Structure 1
């Protein structure tokens, strides 16, 4: 059956109507020549390609919607009060989103403070960047190996390997039904934001194989492209061994790897988990098997290792093979123009998150507190685009929200003058860029013969999201 949509403002076209037949755009124009089976009047609403979110953590994002949301906390007492109100005996309390950098105390709660309000309940509260977490002693008791791991603290948040240990224990405490409910909640929300495809960036220290495999079996209408961040494994259903394969950590938790120490913590330069030789080995192994490789890379020392790794891999498999593989780099926040040129030569896709700059950029933001003058060079989208690096926009949710239009605005109005890109390029990065990042042969454009995957908007409110002709989100037209 053919459905005719009329009264539309079609992105990139002067046409006002289009038809969908068997999940494909079968006609675009002004006066439909046939007799459709159904007619939908869009009353002047904007029709645009559906967005792709190129970096998500579905279960954690869903748990933010169904669990304890700490993104609005403004002081230590906000966190403690929220835990006191939500802690239930016998059940893990999972929360996310605290960011102490703007709090009057300039610190998170201590473990002793958390234990006092938790009442013996296992509590896991990830920082906004998910590279460290506040945990109760009851949760540490479920992961005793954390006490001897790198990143352990007797009183404060856990980072690095200690964090990975307690996160695994927290994940193991989530019932399958709770996990499935969180996944569904996230995917429904993504569809309501005009997103028809998400790239799940899983890994052994992030979500676990059971979570990853379970997610890939879901059929909610939203396309799930899975990436698994681990070297030397075969993962059925994964598009590549990429996503959050950590070369380093994050600025907020002071685990992003730097050449020079942190401005506000001169005793540390972050953490580097992979070196150039290991990076090259992974690139070679994936290239030779036709698999996408990729890495989580943020700090300048980590970026330097990745670029060196690509150079070493080139000597083994050659430039052409690397370009064909279209390997990915997630975040890529601290990259120079020279490095961007080299990564473009290797055909790298940069999966980046403009809302990072909106949240933490500028002269008074967290980046400036952590890095001083170095912060002005972060997230240089214009530099990457000028070098020819393909940009794919995402949220890294639950780190930042799934909000494509806000993401586009953040990329255009970068808090460092000269680092932003224009609206056309930003829109492309959140649509066709995501398709390119997943090696999808469809560019995402609305043309005859293309998949009928689009979103309908009025004043940047999503009225309908359609994937391959199937409506996966709809609100009444008013």
Structure 2
């Protein structure tokens, strides 16, 4: 491959390449391989950076370990922010009470977000900073805060973060993304997520040379002025139609299996969804929504149908609107969304974490669980797939996301390795409105967005039962991508390049 400036200009055999480009700087891969760089189509930069440098609750095994971790981490005069607990994976599912959190916190304000970031355990000291939390929907005097009460608490925590702390977190996030072969991220910001000051600082930091691209979305209705002020791609991302399954706030048609009195939360109805779609379509902006439950998806599809009556199918499809997560959807709904050229920004590691006979999905939904995250069906109906992490909900590890998409818990719902890889590269660019047919691939004329990977430890079995290292040589009868079977180590990034400029080098 030959690169001039920021563009791939030639791909072919080694000998002719050297003859066509005499005097070029030669980079010998020495057994490594080059591939299109990844796009993460759903991230939360500051929250991820804080998680990378703060208390990690993803590894605690029960409430006692969580309380011990809080006791060790609290500091006088500081708000403790931690993330990642998931009681469905604990040896005992009992969640610590407010009184137990208070005792461990020793009077400090504490905010402990659940893995899906749609509920949180908090201390009384944190609640005292925002008294209106006690009167909000989702308030609990003992257990996790959900819905509006959680949004109030999260805003309080966000206000407690200093500009210097935010800068360190965002810098850590961008560096971490580059270290994992990611050249572009879709930041899903909004008034209930991060705030305008946070978004302003992130865009300024990403504009510095040598940073991954940040494609920014703002999840709020009636905010076209803000979108134009910041040059945003759209009013999309985490504009909530509903919540999350783990927190019992995803909107369902039928009650939760483990909470038969609840069908979750619905924050927007079809008319509000349609109004937002029309506003964005007429303003030349991409619209989009966070939607997970089948009740929420039903509202979204109805919203598109209502909007089509106002602006027409062609205008609606021309904007390439998008949906985040889209976990519970049937074939008929998928075909309708494909007709409106909707992109599905999805997270394959959700299935890896919560799918299967004994996973959280089965606990929450019973026999409905195997139908979740139907990647193959969506791709077959023509919905554009764009994969990401929803970091910090799952880590910035794109090869693991590709692996999860291949090895779906439900037979027939997974993708081929090539289709999964494309969804994490070209699909991400396309979901952000780049539909030139080249970006995200290594072909002449494409932007030079690529990563170099160490595959020295990767082996595959050949047809004659021998074992050999992965190779880019098609004569070796090796698949076009490295093996991603369970247990096989993922490739390690050696270099990440965006537009011909190196972002990371090991």
Q: When the two structures are superposed, what TM-score results if normalisation uses the length of structure 1?
A: 0.94
| Structure 2 residue aligned with 1:462 | 493
Is the partner of 2:26 in helix, strand or coil? Answer: strand
1:34 is aligned to 2:24:
no
How do residues 45-56 of structure 1 correspond to structure 2 at under 5 angstroms? 45-56=32-43
| Structure 2 residue aligned with 1:226 | 216
1:471 is aligned to 2:494:
no
Residue of structure 1 aligned with 2:296, choices 265, 290, 302: 302
1:395 is aligned to 2:389:
yes
Please say if residues 71 and 99 of structure 1, whose CA atoms lie closer than 8 Å, have aligned partners that are also in contact.
Answer: yes
How do residues 98-117 of structure 1 correspond to structure 2 at under 5 angstroms? 98-117=85-104
| Structure 1 residue aligned with 2:268 | 274
1:23 is aligned to 2:6:
yes
Q: CA deviation at 1:388?
A: 0.4
| Structure 1 residue aligned with 2:355 | 361
**Counterparts of 1:416 and 1:441, CA distance in 2:** 31
| Structure 1 residue aligned with 2:240 | 246
**Counterparts of 2:381 and 2:11, CA distance in 1:** 35
Q: CA deviation at 1:46?
A: 1.1
Q: CA deviation at 1:22?
A: 1.6
| Structure 2 residue aligned with 1:451 | 447
Q: In the superposition, relative to structure 1, how do residues 112 and 444 fare at CA in structure 2: closer, same or farther (>3 Å)? A: same
**Counterparts of 1:361 and 1:27, CA distance in 2:** 43
**Counterparts of 2:500 and 2:65, CA distance in 1:** 45
How do residues 402-417 of structure 1 correspond to structure 2 at under 5 angstroms? 402-417=396-411
Is the partner of 2:173 in helix, strand or coil? Answer: helix
Moved over 4 A (4+): none
Please say if residues 381 and 421 of structure 1, whose CA atoms lie closer than 8 Å, have aligned partners that are also in contact.
Answer: yes
**Counterparts of 1:385 and 1:27, CA distance in 2:** 30
Q: CA deviation at 1:37?
A: 5.0
Could you report, residue by residue, the CA deviation over 1:253-291 in whole angstroms, capped at 9, with x for unpaired residues? 000000111111111110000000000000001011110
Please say if residues 202 and 228 of structure 1, whose CA atoms lie closer than 8 Å, have aligned partners that are also in contact.
Answer: yes
Most deviating of 104-113 and 393-402 = 104-113
**Counterparts of 1:27 and 1:380, CA distance in 2:** 37
- Please, which runs of 5 or more residues in structure 1 have no aligned partner? 1-17
Q: CA deviation at 1:38?
A: 2.6
Q: CA deviation at 1:107?
A: 2.5
**Counterparts of 1:107 and 1:287, CA distance in 2:** 47
1:72 is aligned to 2:59:
yes
- Please, which runs of 5 or more residues in structure 2 have no aligned partner? 456-490
**Counterparts of 2:22 and 2:106, CA distance in 1:** 67
Q: When the two structures are superposed, what TM-score results if normalisation uses the length of structure 2?
A: 0.89
